[in-house]
Structure formats: structure tokens, C-alpha cells
Amino acid sequence: MNSAKKLGIWMDHSFAYLLDYSKNPLETKTIESKFTFDKKMEALTKSESLMHNKRQQLQSSYYKELGAIIKDYNHVLLFGPTNAKVELFANLREDLHFANIKIKIKEADQMTENQKAAFVNSYFLTA
């Protein structure tokens, strides 16, 4: 059996669904960005500039939280419908702690929990 720790992350700017392929059965965890619709509206009432700064600050925190989890894996698949996965990847590549982690990006639409699990299973079976 391969001892490499593998993780699939379906993500957009609001949620990340972490699917630990190293566990049997597949273990799932959800992380939510702190930049909610309510926070966006609250910041917009003050100024658009404040809203953009707040979004950047909270997105950075969201990506750091995901990065702290990713550090424990050898192979990570980032997939989802938005460019959040590309933004996270860019943040990770700036940090040398992630240099030895194999990270791949795949496009994917909205998915049910079962579809996400099947996507991750399919990817890691062929990777």
C-alpha cells in the first residue's frame, strides 16, 4: 500500500471540502471562508475600498488555514468551479514549505458530496 498522504480539496471562495484519500473510508471535512455575504454588505456600507481590503484579508486567512492542513500531505488535488484553487496554489508556491508537495489543479463544476468523493477516488487511482 502506498503510504503517501493524499488530499482532495473541492473549493470555491466560500467553502473548501477536504477529502482525505489516505483514510478508508474517505474522510471529509469542511472549512468556510470568513468572508460571508453579510461581511461583504457590512463593509460595502462603509466603502468599496474597505470591502476589497476586508475580502483580501479574510481570503488570505482562509488560504492560510487550508495551507496549514495541506502541509501534512504529500499529494494534493485542488478542484472546483472558481479560480479560488488557482489563487490558493499561487499562495502555496510562494512558501518553500510546500516545495515538496505535489499539487495539481483540475476544473470541476458544482458537485454533490458523492461526486466529489468519486472525483478524488478516480484522480488518485490513476495518479
pLDDT tier at 81 (50, 70, 90 boundaries)? very high
Q: Compute the half-sphere exposure of residue 39: CA atoms within 13 Å on the CB side of its CA.
A: 15
**How many domains does the chain contain in total?**
1
CATH number of the domain enclosing 57: 3.30.420.60
Nearest residue to 88 via CA among 109, 111, 62, 107: 62
Would residue 1 count as lying in a domain? no
Domain of 33 in residue numbering reads as 6-126
Query: For 6-24, what is each residue's pLDDT tens digit?
Result: 999 999 988 999 999 988 8
Residue 26 pLDDT > 80: yes
Would residue 111 count as lying in a domain? yes
